[in-house]
Chain A
């Protein structure tokens, strides 16, 4: 009887409705694919294995920052302008500890992350409990921590780091199958496991939705969606395999993205962040301690800035006074390109990642096409404007 009832009531949403409801998500993914194809055709090397790995390494710090920035923006359109300076400040501290004080790498990194936490407590206090606008507190932080970076470095560049520190950004996971020469099978194994996992969880979710009669997308769309993701992931894994395997940074990234995606969508504090951005007063009257939410979000942002600073220092194998300037703008742009709302309450971690990748691919592709940095900036600015304009216009039409 149960099944008979199920078969009667399966409710499909039309393809048109599905597309319309998710137009923003799809649009940015499609844009990313189009941009990639465009550069692949014009440069011919965007998607070669080495460059795919490079894309990840080059953009790792922006991706990390974009995750934290998403949470900031979600609370109500607040941004954090200090992330670049904080990243540089932490890199300078870690650099000094390792290179000048000869401290153990692990201990130095832990101290660096803790310092990030201290900065987060400092900024979070002013923003959440004194309620000074985040824009102002973090603008002050941007200046202060840039200044402190200079003080610590005495205006000089610190270099080189020991091998073990550099490997954060330039190392690879050991090959699990070293007997296969010229091809690193490990990524393929991981992507295969991921594919199976994805299929199983998606099917389970779909079944639950059908059972609850809440409306699912038609099977054709569901399957093609699933297939597309799996193909993309496996192609990506193939590219990694054909080069040098899985970069350590990628492991950090995947863990952060998965962790924060889960946090934002499945946990109580994550829900509080969305609720606060959606309507702060209503959230308060429902028992959400919005001060604490805000405090945590900025604490978190500072810690992630520290992570980004360490990753970036490892990649450039140095700590220098001007490092990380402009990171904040890249991260903010990534969030808005990825569909976050400037008034808060709307946006996803995955969206910000897609947004950051759009920016990253644009950067990378334009460099390979030999476009000057003047034009690169102009084009990136234009893309940001168009992405948000698309957002606003599609919303207006929906009304």
Chain B
């Protein structure tokens, strides 16, 4: 019997169809995995289900336990027994475990919190999820793995029937991941259905009873795992199997000498003591070359790029940066810019642009010294520059005085590019430069990137979209868990190969723990 039936779900954001006629059926009591590339629509589909996008903002129907549902908020879906655990946990750090478990669902008597019952229930829930901690402990003192368990306890407190986990193991180490997966299997025995969103295909294969593959906002297929063998290649093919058409402008690469070398780059997490985020990474980039860094979300790409850019991320950074044969000591962002580096962030709204300022001020911000004399900004220079870049990059706006917040995503992205192109860097790091923008604007941005390479700049291109990396880059580094796990040249690279690099590296870390079991084949894997 199906506990959940989603039929023909279509959800649009403006002109972009995030979900196109997606259907999903989940049998009661199974673990159903949902896989697909970033942007395939997994999270959107779950947000539709849980009421984050209220009824009416999408089309199609949802039938849960034989009942047609029209959730207008998360509260309504929770009341029916659907709980979603997001990638970034929604716990309150300065409240205790027990308080978090019953947040919004307090154990009360006459409108006053019944602390005795809160404690008792918390203890029994913690037992269920296998967390041996005092319920009075503050969340901030727990590791991520344990916090994840508290989230699940919180869902159980609401008498959950369908538990949705969005990348639950992304931030966990192997041991915690194993724990979590084991817990999922136990919960299954007690009759709870789960939807698991995960990039880690080995985990999916380990626990899932059925797998639904999404790609570009459509359902590709649902595979019933119980009925036969399944391997990762089969899933990967479903995830990426699409024809590459003419989505990328042509370019004949003119690659020069090695221009940027980064050796043995290691970075520690700025918040968590002793956690390495980037582990001994070495890369090199030639003049006129576009080098891609591919990897899943959370693989450390952004952290790597930002730590190079004047230590904008991380601490205890070690390793060397060599530009044109000269070793650089870069300790601040100002210094990085002076040394010809530029980093266009993935998070353009929060970290890239000043939304309440206009085009002009945003374009000039990183290079005010170029348009000023003795600290006085020359108005006409600034206007001229803004006008020039607006037409050069074809930024569609009412004028150079339009505020950034009123521009579309693609045009905002172009403003950010304009800012960094005007800064005239030698090395340009672009982090997800096409995230959330439409196909037409993407093409324009590819063209701009090609031109920059043509001019002899060294370009590092970070993207989660594999086709884009393959279509644009001359060489691709594959990154996973803070390490370079593969290097592929353009002729050599394919989506399957990139995915395989990632999967193999995960297996090798896992098997490395298995070394204790006497499995000796791992060293080869680790070398990839």
Nearest chain A CB to B351's CB is how many angstroms away? 4
| Contact across chains for A286 and B365 when beta carbons are under 8 A apart | yes
Please name all residues of chain B whose beta carbon is closer than 8 Å to the beta carbon of A287 when the two chains form the complex. 333-334, 336-337, 366
Please name all residues of chain A whose beta carbon is closer than 8 Å to the beta carbon of B312 when the two chains form the complex. 284-285
| Contact across chains for A269 and B375 when beta carbons are under 8 A apart | yes
Given contacts A267-B376, A287-B366, A289-B332, contact A346 B353 (CB under 8 A): no
Please name all residues of chain A whose beta carbon is closer than 8 Å to the beta carbon of B179 when the two chains form the complex. none
| Contact across chains for A271 and B368 when beta carbons are under 8 A apart | yes
| A266 and B350 alpha carbons, distance in the complex (Å) | 26
| Contact across chains for B353 and A282 when beta carbons are under 8 A apart | yes
| Contact across chains for B356 and A286 when beta carbons are under 8 A apart | no
Query: A214, A269, A346: which has the most chain B beta carbons within 10 Å?
Result: A214
Given contacts A275-B361, A287-B337, A289-B332, contact A267 B377 (CB under 8 A): yes
Please name all residues of chain B whose beta carbon is closer than 8 Å to the beta carbon of A289 when the two chains form the complex. 332, 334
| A215 and B399 alpha carbons, distance in the complex (Å) | 8
A207-219 vs B, CB cutoff 8 Å, 1 = contact: the mask equals 0100010110000
| A317 and B508 alpha carbons, distance in the complex (Å) | 81
B372 near A: Cβ within 8 Å?
Answer: yes
| Contact across chains for B357 and A275 when beta carbons are under 8 A apart | yes
Given contacts A268-B372, A278-B356, contact A285 B343 (CB under 8 A): yes
B349-361 vs A, CB cutoff 8 Å, 1 = contact: the mask equals 0111111110001
| A215 and B333 alpha carbons, distance in the complex (Å) | 36
| Contact across chains for A212 and B383 when beta carbons are under 8 A apart | yes
**A268 partner, pick from B333, B337, B354, B368, beta carbons under 8 A:** B368
Nearest chain B CB to A279's CB is how many angstroms away? 5
A274 near B: Cβ within 8 Å?
Answer: yes
| Contact across chains for B380 and A279 when beta carbons are under 8 A apart | no
Please name all residues of chain A whose beta carbon is closer than 8 Å to the beta carbon of B333 when the two chains form the complex. 284-287
B484-526 vs A, CB cutoff 8 Å, 1 = contact: the mask equals 0000000000000000000000000000000000000000000
| Contact across chains for A275 and B365 when beta carbons are under 8 A apart | yes
| A287 and B343 alpha carbons, distance in the complex (Å) | 11
**A266 partner, pick from B356, B377, B384, beta carbons under 8 A:** B377
Given contacts A285-B343, A286-B365, A287-B334, contact A267 B419 (CB under 8 A): no
A283 near B: Cβ within 8 Å?
Answer: yes
B450 near A: Cβ within 8 Å?
Answer: no
| Contact across chains for B387 and A282 when beta carbons are under 8 A apart | no
| Contact across chains for A279 and B361 when beta carbons are under 8 A apart | no
Contacting A at CB under 8 A, from B145-176, are none
Across the two chains, which residue of chain A brings its CB closest to B354? A278
Nearest chain A CB to B160's CB is how many angstroms away? 37
| Contact across chains for B356 and A345 when beta carbons are under 8 A apart | yes
| Contact across chains for B380 and A278 when beta carbons are under 8 A apart | no
Please name all residues of chain B whose beta carbon is closer than 8 Å to the beta carbon of A275 when the two chains form the complex. 354, 357, 361, 365
B381-414 vs A, CB cutoff 8 Å, 1 = contact: the mask equals 0011001000000000001110000000000000
Given contacts A281-B350, A288-B365, contact A266 B379 (CB under 8 A): yes
| Contact across chains for B345 and A285 when beta carbons are under 8 A apart | yes
| Contact across chains for A282 and B354 when beta carbons are under 8 A apart | yes
| A267 and B382 alpha carbons, distance in the complex (Å) | 12
Given contacts A214-B400, A284-B333, contact A268 B369 (CB under 8 A): yes
| Contact across chains for A214 and B401 when beta carbons are under 8 A apart | yes
| A286 and B333 alpha carbons, distance in the complex (Å) | 8
Please name all residues of chain A whose beta carbon is closer than 8 Å to the beta carbon of B400 when the two chains form the complex. 214
Query: B309, B312, B356, B387: which has the most chain A beta carbons within 10 Å?
Result: B356
**A279 partner, pick from B353, B376, B387, beta carbons under 8 A:** B353
Please name all residues of chain B whose beta carbon is closer than 8 Å to the beta carbon of A281 when the two chains form the complex. 350-351
| A214 and B358 alpha carbons, distance in the complex (Å) | 13
Please name all residues of chain B whose beta carbon is closer than 8 Å to the beta carbon of A288 when the two chains form the complex. 365
Across the two chains, which residue of chain A brings its CB closest to B398? A215
**A271 partner, pick from B336, B365, B383, B419, beta carbons under 8 A:** B365
| Contact across chains for A286 and B375 when beta carbons are under 8 A apart | no
| A346 and B354 alpha carbons, distance in the complex (Å) | 12
| A268 and B374 alpha carbons, distance in the complex (Å) | 9
Please name all residues of chain A whose beta carbon is closer than 8 Å to the beta carbon of B353 when the two chains form the complex. 279, 282
| Contact across chains for B366 and A266 when beta carbons are under 8 A apart | no
| A46 and B383 alpha carbons, distance in the complex (Å) | 44
A109-138 vs B, CB cutoff 8 Å, 1 = contact: the mask equals 000000000000000000000000000000
| A208 and B381 alpha carbons, distance in the complex (Å) | 12
| Contact across chains for B365 and A283 when beta carbons are under 8 A apart | yes
Nearest chain A CB to B365's CB is how many angstroms away? 5
Across the two chains, which residue of chain A brings its CB closest to B353? A282
**A267 partner, pick from B309, B332, B375, beta carbons under 8 A:** B375
If A214-B401, A283-B354 are given as contacts, then 8 extra A-B residue pairs at C-beta distance below 8 Å, sorted by A number, are A271-B365, A271-B368, A274-B361, A279-B355, A283-B365, A285-B312, A345-B354, A345-B356
Residue pairs across A and B with Cβ atoms less than 8 A apart, 24 shown, are A208-B380, A212-B383, A212-B384, A214-B401, A266-B376, A267-B372, A267-B375, A268-B368, A271-B368, A275-B361, A278-B355, A278-B356, A279-B350, A279-B353, A281-B351, A282-B351, A282-B353, A282-B354, A284-B333, A285-B309, A285-B333, A345-B354, A345-B356, A346-B356
Closest 4 CB pairs of A and B: A278-B354, A286-B366, A281-B351, A287-B337
Chain A residues close to B by CB (< 8 Å): 208, 212, 214-215, 266-269, 271-272, 274-275, 278-279, 281-289, 345-346
